[in-house]
Amino acid sequence: MTTELDRDDFGRITHDPSARRLELEWFESTERMADQDFRRSLERLAELSEEHRPRHVMIDVTRFAFSPNPDTAQWRQDEIIPRYNAAGIEKFAFLLPPSAPSPGEPAPEPTADFPTGWFLARAALEEWLQQP
């Protein structure tokens, strides 16, 4: 059974203990988001990852409308990815809008101990997460 662990104006984080998965679902309201809101959400996801130690983390960006500052990617690599590594995450996935360009094959991000996949359909994402 999936449980909502956190919610704010911009998204919600749910936990599925049977699948050992955390999911961050962004809302359309992210168009009003500031960089500090974005970072706070990623810090919360990292905190919950450390607490629940999921095998998989997924972020639904199908309705995401915020453009992070250019330095945010480096901040995520330096501050957030190591926390995901410490939590023992095995796979990280993004669900993209169907209009997004073809995402390519899953691969580790810089500083990550796990592969990250980008998917245009939930079914493909779920299939990848189920693979060993």
Cα–Cα–Cα angle for 80, 2, 41, rounded to 5 degrees: 25
At residue 132, the pLDDT reads 87
Q: What are phi and psi of 69, to 5 degrees?
A: -60, 150
* Global pTM exceeds 0.85: yes
pLDDT tens-digit map of 38-60? 999 999 999 999 999 999 999 99
pLDDT tens-digit map of 115-131? 999 999 999 999 999 99
Domains of the chain and CATH, by start:
3-130 (3.30.750)
Dist. CA 107–CA 77, nearest whole Å: 15
